[in-house]
């Protein structure tokens, strides 16, 4: 690494400044980032008493020469930045030269370091920001920073810390994130009594997810295989300098199948150039990708990695470096959304019959015994840490049940002995968990339908043979995979939704005139909304005119909608928009109208269907992009696999 220098004042002043150390996890974050920046291959973190008594981070990175080691504790001393221009393309995790002095100011700190090319290492001690000793020492190459008695000289801060378990949970969550971002490095997290994480280096992200969360978690996810786009594809070339025209954005990661539904965003992790960030733009892109696959009030679990040239991202916008600003936000947003959406449409999962029961049992177990089964996971993950050859960590609960079992609140209330393992695998530490101010704990988590699922192919649906209906509402069908139930209403809704949306986008929707115009009374607010969306309404086949101060007349409605239903449909569309915030995107407006229209036009339940109709419906469903869930996110099909049937008959 290049030599450390003190930043000139004009550069230092340009850096987003603020509190660096808020809790033990923030110390771990800074030290981990330093180790990664130093090119370490193996990083070991030790924590005692939730990191209050001791945090030690050891790495095998480039180390520091004696003079550099001393200089590192000056404010704005960094080897990663030279000039104000360098701030425009930051390729390292650190750049402020703030972390070590800030940590040293509020703890007893011991730095032991040796640059590989030096014969001797250096040991430096600080207490409350004061240098208390510098000695040469025989040390292995690399760096170890030990931070003892955090906040010992700042009692107000010390008293703010949460329970040991919570603080350790945040540390575990952080180490987990960095381990995910760097599958090619080894990460170990230990307490005096337990090895919490032991992730040896692996070749793929999938292997890392397996190491950290187990097979069940992996089964809930589908991979977003790397997709890349030259940034110039959508940015006019005039905007880009020649050297920028080769700039590429790469998106990859994992996202949950539609059956996995979370009550909040805590299962979403976004990494930009391997830095965990909290970014509203990307969250929005994720939300958009799942629109009409998940109901609007629930969230997926997503691990998203965006890699792009450093000059395309400004990381110098937040003192804790957890927010970024993109130079071409719209492009990044749309490309991330499309990459997830494409992967999602390929994933095509099916909920199984058995899932409903198993899930109910898992959910209630998680609620009544919050951390009960967590203890079994410790040896399992330690075993898994030695690589995929070891026994699979079968005992690790799937992410969602983990979440249910490991909400922060439960830990605060829990009088049970320390069981950090329940927290450490939670995929849901929350974005930037451990970076937030004390008190902003992640909220509780529920999960709805999920568990046993199997990926389906379009073919497996296309091969379905309908046998009949239950209650004139659910089609019973079979194929080589097993027995299927299809909710005829939502299946038809999915088919119509996609047709409607496609036709709308091609500008080919037509309306159907009603014999007698329908007069509809509206509230002033609804009248304003109708005015705002009038163009879109007519593009969808509506013809609506103002009648009086409070009423409108419907002269035509989208094809397939019975006259009697037209008023209800219009009200539903207006209601849906009223509930949204003021700004609704064109995409989302179109999808809303399509969803409402298809719901009203679809075959109802309690309607007998003949063989030909059932066959037609299943064939049409097989052709849709997301045949497994309706536009409102409800499941369309349930499958009882041959294996489940054999198991139920005790044949296996
Ligand atoms: N583990 C390490 N191995 C090698 N060098 C290190 C290590 N930790 C710190 N350094 C050196 O010390 C310098 C100061 O570290 P510090 O974390 O205070 O600042 P920074 O990483 O440059 O910026 P930031 O404040 O954004 O983290 C670094 O620039 C780096 O040169
Ligand atoms: Mg640093």
Q: Counting ligands in written order, which one lies closest to the CA of residue 3?
A: 1
Cα–Cα distances in angstroms (integers) from residue 270 to residues 123, 289, 322, 620, in the given order: 37, 15, 10, 36
pTM: 0.63
In the predicted structure, residue 543 carries a pLDDT above the cut 60: yes
Q: How confident is the model at residue 412 (pLDDT cuts 50, 70, 90)?
A: very low
Integer angstrom CA distances of residue 98 from 5, 6, 74: 12, 11, 8
Average pLDDT, the chain: 79
CA 271 to chain centre: 10
Q: How far is the CA of 118 from the centre of ligand 2 (A)?
A: 22
| Shortest-distance ligand to the CA of residue 87 | 1
Site of tokens 């099916």: 350
Nearby residues for ligand 2 (ion, Cβ within 5 Å)? 34, 94, 99
The arithmetic mean of pLDDT across residues 272-290, rounded, is: 91
Q: Which of 34, 64, 96, 105 to mutate to test the pocket of ligand 1 (most atoms within 8 A of CB)?
A: 34
More confident residue, 521 or 234: 521
Q: How confident is the model at residue 304 (pLDDT cuts 50, 70, 90)?
A: very high
Distance in Å, CA 212 to ligand 2 centroid: 25
Q: Which residues sit with their C-beta closer than 6 Å to ligand 1?
A: 1, 4, 30, 33-35, 38, 59, 61-64, 72, 77-80, 94-100, 143
Confidence (pLDDT) at 431: 34
By C-alpha distance, which of 211, 638, 216, 202 is closest to 449? 638
Alpha carbon of residue 376 to chain centroid: 26
Report CA(562)–ligand 1 centroid distance (Å): 69
Q: Which helix (H) or strand (E) holds 637?
A: strand 637-641
The pLDDT of residue 580: 59
Task: With a cut of 90, say whether residue 64 has pLDDT above it.
Answer: yes
pLDDT tens readout for residues 481-494:
889 999 999 999 99
pLDDT value of residue 345: 81
Which pLDDT does position 236 carry in this prediction?
52
pLDDT, average across residues 240-254: 74
List 4's β-bridge partners, or say none.
none
DSSP 383-449: HHTT-TTS---TTSPPHHHHHHHT-HHHHHH--SPP-HHHHHT-TTS-TTTTTSPTT-PPPP--B-S
Mean per-residue pLDDT, 612-619: 95
Q: What is the pLDDT of residue 459?
A: 65
What pLDDT sits at residue 514? 85
Q: Using one digit for the tens of pLDDT, what is the confidence trace for 331-385?
A: 999 999 999 998 988 776 566 665 444 443 333 333 222 222 332 222 222 223 3
Q: How far is the CA of 34 from the centre of ligand 2 (A)?
A: 5
| pLDDT tens digits along 26-45 | 999 999 999 999 999 999 99
| Number of the ligand closest to the Cα of 100 | 1
Q: pLDDT band for position 262 (50/70/90)?
A: confident
**Which ligand 1 atom minimizes the distance to the CA of 4?**
31
303: three-class secondary structure by DSSP = strand
Task: Find the range with the poorest average confidence among 122-126, 257-261, 320-324, 371-375.
Answer: 371-375
Ligand 2 centre and the CA of 33: distance in Å? 6
Arithmetic mean of pLDDT, 585-601: 87
pLDDT of residue 124: 97
Distance from the CA of 17 to the center of ligand 2, in angstroms?
A: 14
How many helices and strands, by DSSP H and E, does the chain display?
A: 23, 26
| Range in 121-130, 474-483, 568-577 with the lowest mean pLDDT | 568-577
Q: What is the pLDDT of residue 58?
A: 98
CA of 9 to the centre of ligand 2 (A): 19
Q: Which of 37, 73, 145, 185 to mutate to test the pocket of ligand 1 (most atoms within 8 A of CB)?
A: 37
Q: Kindly identify the ligand whose nearest atom is closest to the C-alpha of 78.
A: 1
């Amino acid at each position: 690494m290049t030599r450390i220098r003190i930043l000139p004042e004009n550069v230092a002043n340009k850096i987003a400044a603020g509190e660096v150390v808020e809790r033990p996890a923030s110390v771990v974050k800074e030290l981990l980032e330093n180790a990664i920046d130093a090119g370490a291959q193996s990083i070991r973190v030790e924590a005692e008493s939730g990191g209050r008594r001791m945090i030690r981070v050891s790495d095998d990175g480039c180390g520091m020469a004696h003079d550099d080691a001393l200089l590192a504790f000056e404010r704005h001393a960094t080897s990663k930045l030279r000039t104000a221009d360098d701030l425009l393309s930051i390729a390292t995790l650190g750049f402020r030269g703030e972390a070590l002095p800030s940590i040293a100011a509020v703890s007893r700190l011991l730095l032991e370091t040796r640059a590989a090319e030096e014969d001797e290492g250096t040991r430096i001690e600080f207490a409350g920001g004061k240098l208390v000793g510098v000695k040469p020492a025989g040390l292995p190459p690399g760096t170890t920073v030990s931070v003892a008695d955090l906040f010992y000289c700042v009692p107000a801060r010390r008293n703010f810390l949460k329970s040991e378990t919570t603080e350790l949970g945040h540390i575990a969550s952080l180490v987990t994130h960095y381990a995910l971002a760097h599958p090619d490095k080894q990460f170990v997290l230990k307490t005096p009594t337990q090895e919490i994480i032991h992730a040896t280096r692996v070749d793929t992200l999938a292997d890392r997810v397996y190491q950290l969360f187990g097979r069940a978690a992996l089964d809930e996810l589908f991979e977003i295989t790397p997709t890349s786009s030259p940034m110039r594809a959508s940015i006019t070339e005039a905007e880009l300098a020649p050297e920028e025209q080769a700039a590429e954005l790469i998106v990859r990661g994992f996202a949950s199948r539609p059956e996995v539904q979370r009550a909040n965003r805590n299962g979403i992790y976004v990494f930009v150039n391997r830095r965990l960030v909290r970014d509203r733009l990307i969250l929005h892109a994720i939300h958009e990708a799942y629109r009409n696959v998940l109901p609007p009030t629930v969230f997926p679990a997503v691990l998203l990695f965006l890699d792009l040239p450093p000059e395309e991202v400004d990381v110098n916008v937040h003192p804790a470096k957890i927010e970024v600003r993109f130079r071409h936000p719209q492009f990044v947003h749309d490309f991330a959304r499309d990459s997830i959406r494409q992967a999602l449409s390929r994933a095509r999962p099916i909920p199984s019959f058995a899932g409903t029961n198993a899930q109910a049992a898992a959910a209630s177990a998680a609620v009544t015994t919050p951390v009960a089964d967590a203890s079994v996971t410790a040896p399992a993950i330690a075993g898994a840490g030695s690589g995929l050859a070891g026994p699979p960590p079968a005992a690790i609960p799937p992410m969602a049940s983990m979440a249910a079992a490991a909400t922060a609140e439960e830990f605060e209330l829990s009088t049970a002995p320390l069981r950090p393992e329940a927290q450490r695998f939670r995929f849901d530490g929350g974005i930037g968990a451990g970076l937030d101010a004390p008190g902003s704990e992640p909220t509780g988590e529920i999960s709805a339908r999920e568990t046993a699922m199997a990926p389906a192919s379009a073919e497996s649906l296309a091969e379905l043979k309908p046998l009949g209906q239950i209650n004139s509402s659910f089609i019973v069908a079979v194929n080589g995979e097993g027995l299927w139930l299809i909710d005829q209403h939502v299946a038809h809704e999915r088919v119509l939704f996609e047709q409607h949306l496609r036709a709308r986008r091609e500008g080919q929707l037509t309306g159907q005139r009603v014999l007698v115009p329908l007069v509809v009374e509206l509230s002033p607010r609804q009248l304003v909304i109708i005015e705002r969306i009038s163009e879109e309404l007519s593009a969808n086949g509506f013809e609506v005119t103002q009648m009086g101060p409070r009423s409108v007349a419907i002269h035509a409605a989208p094809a397939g909608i019975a006259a009697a239903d037209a008023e209800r449909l219009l009200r539903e569309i207006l209601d849906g928009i009223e509930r949204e915030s003021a700004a609704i995107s064109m995409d989302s407006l179109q999808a809303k109208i399509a969803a409402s229209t298809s719901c009203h036009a679809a075959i109802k339940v309690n309607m007998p269907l003949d063989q030909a109709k059932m066959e037609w419906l299943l064939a049409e469903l097989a052709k849709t992009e997301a045949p497994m869930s309706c536009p409102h996110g409800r499941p369309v099909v349930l499958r009882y696999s041959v294996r489940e049937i054999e198991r139920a008959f005790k044949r296996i």
